[in-house]
Structure 1
Amino acid sequence: MLRDLDLKLQYRSSHDNIYENFYKKCLNNSINYDRAAGYFTSESLKVIAEGLDTFLLNEGKIRIVANPNLKNEDIEAIEKGYIAKEQLIENRLLEEVEVCYRTIEDDTLNVLSWLIYKNQLDIKIAFTKNNSIYHEKFGIFTDEEGGSVAFSGSANETFSGLGMNFEKVDVFFGERDKHRIENARRDFEYLWEDNTNGLNVIDLPKSIKKKLLDYRSKTPPYILQKKKNEKKIEPRDYQKSAIDHWNEAGNNGILEMATGTGKTITSLLAAQEYQIKYKRGVVLIIVPFQHLVDQWEKDINFILHQKNLKCMGNSKSWINKANRIVQDFNLGIIDNYVIITTYSAASSLHFKKIFNKLKGPSLLIADECHYITYKGFNDFPFNSFTATLGLSATPDRWWDEEGTRYMKSKIGEVVYEYTLEQAIENGKLTRYNYEPHIVEFNEIEMREYNKLSKRIINLLNKEDKEDEEQLTKLYNQRANLINKAQNKFWQFIEDFKKENLNELKHTLVYCAKGEIDRVVKEISKLGVKVSRFNSEVNNRDRSEILKQFENGTIQVLVAIKCLDEGVDVPATKTAYFLASTSNPREFVQRRGRILRTYKGKSCAQIHDYIVLPLGLSFDDFFKIASKEFPRFSEFSSSADNSATCKRGVIEILDEYNLTNLMYKKPWDVYKEMKELYS
């Protein structure tokens, strides 16, 4: 109730944020707000719509008496009889609505339209009979018990008046000011009923009302939707533990959680707690790819129920909106907002400049935080955020310890870990069987591999930074020799034919770059409904493809990298890995996609194609096996058939006395190679 507020007798810009310290505080405890507001402008409409969440959800009603913003030439035209006063006022109001349409780019007009439609907002226009300016400014807040607070002063109902100009308002509340409050209430009622001497007060012209109603959407905006009917999302035990660890670490750190265990939901629940704790807060979420922005938006709407802005693609579509959100938040005009962007957009100069101005409680969520690099984010305004939360199943960067250190210096250390084994044991991920298929790396391919290795060694010995681009090219060529090994493709086709192709569905195939057309063509020849899922498929088509894949209309998806991070395909039961780098982030992410739980799915199947130079020298065999077997070790260790799949390769490794490779996981090999390299 208003009587419970700790109010001052006066608020002045030298000491107070009038909007934050007084105006919004009273709004949140009122059900009626009457205001003689000064000018009717597009900015006044913005202020009406912003920051009224609690007030509007309580079915609060606003009545505003405003003055038409007439110019000197308008007054002269009226006095000379060139145009009727009412007609000129209507013209000026129409202009203001048009200005509003062009300058207010968020959901403000839609909110206003719904308020008028629901009879929660009513506006009347006041003008003097002698063509002078109607300039008084006062207002009354009233709560459910009938208690009131009145105020008067210099502030207009505009963005500048309540937030930026130097203003002063006098406040009247309690028993001692009862007569002043009653006077204010009486004066407003006289205004509203057009009973004030020297003034004419008219209803908002029908043309203006119709114009505003034209902006109404089919469904109410989030600000008018009843939160009490929303189902509260409760975190699972491990998610609660993750949030608790992050809180204990001072709201800075990384959650290292297996793919498919709900990192997105966990982070949004953490954001919800954070905003409740500080009573407000901006949340910035950075994701790797544009198609993940829409996916995050759904979860934001489901959990936070807050306005959000998507910053991606052409900066002209979001830069002004983002700048205004930060400005409004700093002034206290808005309490909560969510901005979702990509690492590409976040590393731009425009984006950094906007968020460098951010002040107040704010949370940065970095999805797949290993994407944060010194090159792209060395001047990013991390210090503007009071909290940081990183998400990744594999936060450490592969062969980039300096990059890992930089990322953790900005986001924080790992504060919580939830492993794949824990998730499977607790039923949060699906159990799986692992079937390794040994493919021979022939002698010609081995010779080419050795040639590329020699060229790589020569460039490494030069230590010339200008050769880095050439070095990367050689690394990729060498990796592609394994990914595109000649025997791999036909071995896969033979294995695929063994499936019950009529009943086959929910199957993924990961292939190398440049191989996708070939794989799709051969699978299609078998009468299987197959679709590519790569960067050439636009976001709209992706959604439809994933929907058809889930319902079984499309039996097989063939992908390169687009399904690695963030895309949900929980229905997947079977996967074929035709290509994979030695970087564990890639194959760990892919496995996680396949192990997501789904109705009727009790066990997944992973087929993995391991390339080995069978029959060649120890040195040749070791070069390839040491790159291929860390993936085998990682996959086999958590599989239901762990012992069985090891028996299938032990004889091959035993010939080279390398059975120990079956047990060396990627980071074990990494440490050994690091020591050797050092």
Structure 2
Amino acid sequence: MGIASSKKLSGQEIISKINGNYRSGKSDLGRDFFSPCLKYCNRYRRAVGYFSSGALIVWSGALEEILTDDVKIQLIISPNLSIEDKEALQRSLDEAERRKLRQTIADKVITDALSSPEKLNTADVRLELLAWLVANERLIIRFAFPEHMEDAGIFHEKIGIFDFPWGDTVAFTGSANESSMGHSRNYESIDVYRNWLSADIERVKTKVDEFEEAWNSQAQGLKIIPLSEEAIKLIKINAPNKKPSISPKNQTITPSNPTNDVLEPKVYEEKWRHQDEAVDKFLQVGHGVLEMATGTGKTRTTTKILSNLDDEEKLDAIIISTEGTDLLDQWAREIEPWSIGRRKPFRVLKHYASHHQLESFVNNNKGAVLIVSREKLAFLFKRLAPEKRKRMIIVHDEVHGLGSPVLRQSLAGQHQTFGYRLGLSATPEREYDIDGTEFIFQELGNVVFKFGLKDAIEQGILCEFNYIPLYYQLTDNDKQRLKQVYNKQSARAQVGNPMSQTELWIELARVYKTAEQKPDIFASFLRENSQYTRSTIIFVDNREYGYKILETIHGYTYKYRTYYAEDDRANLNKFANGNIDCLITCHRISQGIDIKNLKNVILFSSSRARLETIQRIGRCLRVNPNFPEKRATVIDFILQSEPDEDKDIISADEERYLWLSELSNTRRK
């Protein structure tokens, strides 16, 4: 009879009766050793062999029945490296690239678990338990990559240490894995050392030292990688608020926080069928633009295209280009798991901000992805032979930016030599810039697929929203500022340097965007509607104008921050995590940022171009899996007509009002 069955003994008494060796046949390792130790310990340190994502889910589920509420687990595991993973690491040209690949491989254990078919089809609560344990720092995972020799194998060290609240420590080594197979069905053996026995004290200390040396990345020939911040964020998004409980085997498992993403396969396929339609349309011609609303999966659609081309062995290299460090970083996070999961993994290189790997791509681009800022493309194209481009795809995200005058001059005619050309945008046309729009279509091809905001709301991909217009008028000082713009236009014409229509519009628009009456109207609105200071992003034209809004917001919440171009990104992360109620910003957050808990967008500054408005309201239309009934709100400022005001400006406001009013009446099918 095992010691775990002793009902009347205290935990300390039960642990004191642990043996010095356990072997299958003579003992049940799970019942006689692991269960009592896990039940009574307050810390468990474990270094074990490789774990797949599925094994990690099963293992965490097995823990639920025996873990106490205050136990902390530190786990060192070796990710299960495929042949392709090993080849990718061997092909890496420098340590920075290898480090990035290791991180991707490590994170993939978690990302694969969180996107497993079990979650989609059965809402397995074991997956929720795993997410809860990691999100609440009850389970801390680090990943081991041996480097003690060339072509090293897996990390296969088997050390375990149990610490108990009364001061005892039990260490063990042996063949047993952390699984029901390892504890029961496999034929295994372990040696056990107990610090209350003088003969075992030194051995316990040795095992503790060996574990801590590895955990703290001090073991020679061993690289230890923690989960990345991005992976931790993903886990916290998926984790339930309360610890889930494993139901009995014969009982139906019900998820503790059902979400829109837990769907039957047919429903899931129906919701996202537009992505497959977009893939088919693009592959028919091999070039063109996908016009897809914010939040409808442009990145996922792109990786589906890449997978199709790679599966058919039509692709040697990939170039992904856009603007802004935030968006480029986001592409890197999205493409790395895809690249490492391919049959022959792609190396992911970057050339933007502090990353300088363009030369590495030029010199060895087969099996590589380059994520590059658009401003660097002209230099890249000069170094990239046309014959090499035939088996490459170039992807332009936020493709409207490709049509700027500077890029038209430096990139004209450069794209036709690529085998595949893909543009992505919610609105690829450049309003009031016919030449720029024509350039985009000449270089990449026409729009081959459209899926707009209305389609996305009807499909349930984006949420429904309320539209609240606030009306304002120009003050005498505003009108004086407009007069100064016209005087400037006249003065420049007289000296032979006339303002273009675009220049005139920009300067006039700045007056309307910073109209003096707006802050007071907003303050009056908040007196009856203070809820719109929470889960809110306020878009303003500039920092100075933002200060005026801060004075009003301060009366309703102290949890507000700004996020301008040079601000610390920490404010955005705090807002995304719900630690900040309100964020005041200008342009930087407009593109590519996914904050599901955002409910309200307030537009003090609205561009004449529909593109900017689509991007900004798209921030709050993202569905939130934790709140499936989410309904967003868009608050806008509309100029009231006066006889002496610019009818062009008023018509732009009225056009936006009519468009957003109609869109806000869209309902999910």
Instruction: Give TM-score scaled by structure 1 length.
Output: 0.57
Matched, 1:337 2:374: no
Matched, 1:264 2:303: no
Deviations 1:619-655 (A, max 9, x none): 526343212111112211111399xxxxxxxxxxxxx
Contact 2:393/2:420 (CA < 8 Å) preserved in 1?
A: yes
Shift of 1:475: 3.4
Alignment of 1:545-584 (within 5 A): 545-584=571-610
Shift of 1:546: 3.0
SS of the counterpart of 2:592? coil
Shift of 1:357: 6.8
Contact 1:456/1:475 (CA < 8 Å) preserved in 2?
A: no
Shift of 1:293: 1.5
Q: Which residue of 1 aligns with 2:324?
A: 289
Q: Which residue of 1 aligns with 2:557?
A: 527
Q: Assess, with a 3 A threshold, how the Cα gap between structure 1 residues 518 and 293 changes in structure 2: closer, same or farther.
A: same
Matched, 1:107 2:133: no
Q: Assess, with a 3 A threshold, how the Cα gap between structure 1 residues 318 and 634 changes in structure 2: closer, same or farther.
A: same
* Distance in structure 2 (CA, Å) of the matches to 1:417 and 1:603: 24
SS of the counterpart of 2:225? coil
Q: Which residue of 2 aligns with 1:312?
A: 352
Contact 1:110/1:217 (CA < 8 Å) preserved in 2?
A: no
Instruction: Give TM-score scaled by structure 2 length.
Output: 0.58
Q: Which residue of 2 aligns with 1:630?
A: 655
Matched, 1:303 2:343: no
Matched, 1:511 2:518: no
Shift of 1:353: 2.1
Q: Assess, with a 3 A threshold, how the Cα gap between structure 1 residues 622 and 379 changes in structure 2: closer, same or farther.
A: closer
Matched, 1:593 2:619: yes
* Distance in structure 1 (CA, Å) of the matches to 2:646 and 2:283: 49
Contact 1:533/1:558 (CA < 8 Å) preserved in 2?
A: yes
| Residue type of the alignment partner of 2:225 | K
Q: Which residue of 1 aligns with 2:529?
A: 499
Matched, 1:239 2:239: no
SS of the counterpart of 1:620? coil
Structure with greater helix percent: 1
| Residue type of the alignment partner of 1:345 | K
Alignment of 1:37-116 (within 5 A): 55=83, 106-107=97-98, 114=147, 116=149
Q: Assess, with a 3 A threshold, how the Cα gap between structure 1 residues 439 and 359 changes in structure 2: closer, same or farther.
A: closer
Matched, 1:413 2:416: no
Alignment of 1:177-326 (within 5 A): 214=221, 216=223, 218=225, 236-248=272-284, 250-278=285-313, 280-305=315-340, 306-313=346-353, 317-326=356-365
Of all paired residues, the percent bearing the same amino acid is 22
Shift of 1:325: 2.6
* Distance in structure 1 (CA, Å) of the matches to 2:100 and 2:623: 42
Deviations 1:256-279 (A, max 9, x none): 011121111111211111111225
Contact 2:533/2:556 (CA < 8 Å) preserved in 1?
A: no
SS of the counterpart of 2:525? helix
| Residue type of the alignment partner of 1:578 | F
Contact 1:510/1:576 (CA < 8 Å) preserved in 2?
A: yes
Q: Assess, with a 3 A threshold, how the Cα gap between structure 1 residues 460 and 415 changes in structure 2: closer, same or farther.
A: farther
* Distance in structure 2 (CA, Å) of the matches to 1:281 and 1:102: 18
RMSD: 3.8
Number of aligned residues: 432
Shift of 1:243: 0.6
5+ long unaligned stretches in structure 1: 1-52, 63-99, 122-210, 222-231, 330-335, 643-678
| Partner residue of 2:455 out of 422, 425, 430 | 422
* Distance in structure 2 (CA, Å) of the matches to 1:431 and 1:448: 38
Matched, 1:611 2:639: yes
Q: Assess, with a 3 A threshold, how the Cα gap between structure 1 residues 525 and 382 changes in structure 2: closer, same or farther.
A: same
Q: Assess, with a 3 A threshold, how the Cα gap between structure 1 residues 605 and 460 changes in structure 2: closer, same or farther.
A: farther
| Residue type of the alignment partner of 2:635 | H
Contact 2:469/2:636 (CA < 8 Å) preserved in 1?
A: yes
Shift of 1:117: 7.2
Q: Which residue of 2 aligns with 1:353?
A: 383
5+ long unaligned stretches in structure 2: 1-80, 103-144, 155-217, 229-264, 341-345
Contact 1:529/1:554 (CA < 8 Å) preserved in 2?
A: yes
SS of the counterpart of 2:517? helix
Q: Assess, with a 3 A threshold, how the Cα gap between structure 1 residues 481 and 525 changes in structure 2: closer, same or farther.
A: same
Alignment of 1:454-465 (within 5 A): 456=489
| Residue type of the alignment partner of 1:574 | N
Contact 1:434/1:639 (CA < 8 Å) preserved in 2?
A: yes
Q: Which residue of 2 aligns with 1:396?
A: 429
Q: Which residue of 1 aligns with 2:241?
A: none
* Distance in structure 2 (CA, Å) of the matches to 1:579 and 1:630: 15
* Distance in structure 2 (CA, Å) of the matches to 1:110 and 1:214: 18
* Distance in structure 2 (CA, Å) of the matches to 1:530 and 1:627: 31
